[in-house]
Amino acid sequence: MKKNKEWKITRYNRGGKKLLDFQKNDKEKDLYSSVKYITENINGDICTTDFDASKILVVTSSGQYRFSYSGSSNDYVFHPCGICTDVLGNILVCNGCSESLEKSLIVDPFKSEFGIHLLDQDGRFLSLLLKHPSSPNPRALCFDNQNNLMVGSKNSPTVTVYKYLPRKGTL
């Protein structure tokens, strides 16, 4: 939610009663600058993409800062969009919303982090998925109840479905 130029995440119970606001860290600094997407992990962590800050931010269910992720390399631009988590607690986040990133791909598409970043539940980079997806510029993603990964694209009116088969402890 954004109010008076300040962003915050509000947690509600199933009955709609407000439980907590997450807005500041333990040093009273703002956590968020432009939240675009949000999901909850299997361990209760709240994972958000902050487009203006070019990072994902993860806080505990009580609002304590856990970690942030700004891409696996400082050499490339990270523009996080859609975010979701798998049944193992891994975090998947789209990189590729910006016009400047799209233009840089024309120059050298093999030196980009354009695609879907796969992180473990502690924010460690595991892999770059769909580096050159059939529907470029992934923007939104989610899983269905058969564990298929659905990816929406900025440049296409269709959703691409991928079979996502986690094995115990690995992908």
pLDDT of residue 2: 63
* Mean pLDDT of the 3-7 span: 72
Identify the top-confidence range among 21-30, 84-93, 159-168: 84-93
Q: Which amino acid is at 87?
A: V
Residue ranges and CATH numbers for the domains of the chain are 2-163 (2.120.10.30)
pLDDT of residue 75: 64
pLDDT class of 126 with cuts at 50, 70, 90: very high
d(CA 7, CA 33): 6
CB 85 within 8 A of CB 69: no
Please tell me the pTM assigned to this model. 0.80
Higher-confidence residue of 58 and 97: namely 58
Q: Which amino acid is at 169?
A: G
Residue 23 CA, distance from chain mean position = 18
Q: Does residue 45 surpass a pLDDT of 80?
A: yes
The tens digit of pLDDT for each residue in 129-143 reads 877 655 567 888 999
